[in-house]
Amino acid sequence: MTYVATWSGFAYVAFVTDVYSRRIVGWNVAATLKAEILPLQALDMAAWDPDGDLTGLTHHSDHGSNYMAMVYTDRVVELGAMPSTGTVGDSFDNALAEAVNGLYKTELIRQRGPWRTVEQVGLATLEYVWWWNNQRLHGELDMRTPIEVEDAYYADLESANPAPAGQGSR
């Protein structure tokens, strides 16, 4: 989670990021840090994604009170994911989240501020997430976008498991 100063108070921002593709699969911007509002809605967005089956996945977070709240950890388990938390006070343990938050602030927040309202931050974040997933090239992904990485992954799965005879496309 990170925060953005606005003229009307702070906007708090939570992202859920797929480690393999670096795609932001869930996010939320809110005027509160409450677990049932900020991170829980980002998690639910990830679960509602078309590829959002979280069964068997590990959900890693820091020891922040929002991520340790019963309402949040219960939802992670309910979705079939395994909750995981890192070492207290070790920012390297959750390096991907720290990197996403830092890039978000560098590439969007500092470039387009000052921000008037939480809603303004929310709309800009919507645009940023689309850009991050569909247009931004990532060095960790060999200068590809998260969507390109996922498309390649699923294409490889399909070619490794061709449809049985008579079930392919015509």
Instruction: Please list, in sequence order, all residues whose beta carbon lies within 8 angstroms of the beta carbon of residue 62, skipping any fewer than 6 positions away.
Output: 85, 86, 93, 94, 97
* C-alpha span between 121 and 112 (Å, rounded): 10
* C-alpha span between 19 and 77 (Å, rounded): 19
Is residue 60 scored above 90 in pLDDT? no
Give φ, ψ of 65 to 5 degrees.
-60, -30
Is residue 150 scored above 90 in pLDDT? yes
pLDDT at 157: 86
pLDDT category, 132, cuts 50, 70, 90?
very high
Q: Name the DSSP letter for residue 88.
A: T
- The pTM (predicted TM-score) of the whole model is 0.85
E strand or H helix at 100: helix 95-104
Architecture of the domain defined by 2-160? 2-Layer Sandwich (3.30)
Q: pLDDT tens digits for 67-118?
A: 778 888 888 889 888 877 777 766 666 888 899 999 999 999 999 999 999 9
Mean pLDDT, the chain, integer = 87
- How is the chain split into domains, by residue range? 2-160
pLDDT at 103: 98
